[in-house]
Amino acid sequence: MNLINKKILLVAALGFAFVLSGCQDARKAVAYNDQVVAIQNDIIVKFISFTKEIENMDSADAQAARRQVLVQVEAGIKQAQQLKFEGDDKQFKMAFMDLLQFYKKVVAKDYEELIALAYTQNKPPDHADKINALVARFSKEEEKYDLKFANAQKQFAQTHNFITGENKLQKEIDKTK
């Protein structure tokens, strides 16, 4: 084999190794993204179930169900803390952790208050306004966290050459709003 053929073979082998390396990195990135989405979906499923069942509960059962959602969120936070990605995740994990901490705050405090207001026996005239203001406040705040998370996920996917799809639970999520 002459020198030119050896160089061509070497360049081809290096190119092939580079392509394989890129595919492996993309697979790792997709797996990382899938882990994040799985944690988020576990919380969403619990939350959707909670919002569907709350109408048939008394105050004590509603607060107990809220605490179960909180347990799921806290478990998600622990799982997310364990996630590792070799390389730059483009602030994806940080944005996810911020979103989870927001979920925790909303479920621990805002939903506790919302349930207390919803089950108040002697409702004052401005009762509905208080509930609507509370929901509007945390819904508006959630938009900021959702956008930050979505942008970080998009940047992560672009950097690692994969495309994210719509969350399969999105239609269910939209129904709860």
Tell me which residue range forms the domain holding 139: 3-176
Tokens of 23: 């595919």
User: Chain-wide mean pLDDT for the chain?
Assistant: 85
User: How do residues 105-148 score in pLDDT, each as one tens digit?
Assistant: 999 999 999 999 999 888 888 988 999 999 999 999 999 999 99
CATH code, 64: 1.20.120
The pTM (predicted TM-score) of the whole model is 0.82
Radius of gyration for the alpha carbons in the chain, expressed in angstroms and rounded: 23
Closest CA to 96 of 159, 34, 160, 170: 34
Number of folded domains in the chain? Answer: 1
- How far is the C-alpha of 71 from the C-alpha of 78, rounded, in Å? 11
pLDDT in tens, 40-78: 999 999 999 999 999 899 999 999 999 999 999 999 999
The pLDDT value recorded for residue 173 is: 64
DSSP labels for 126-140?
THHHHHHHHHHHHHH
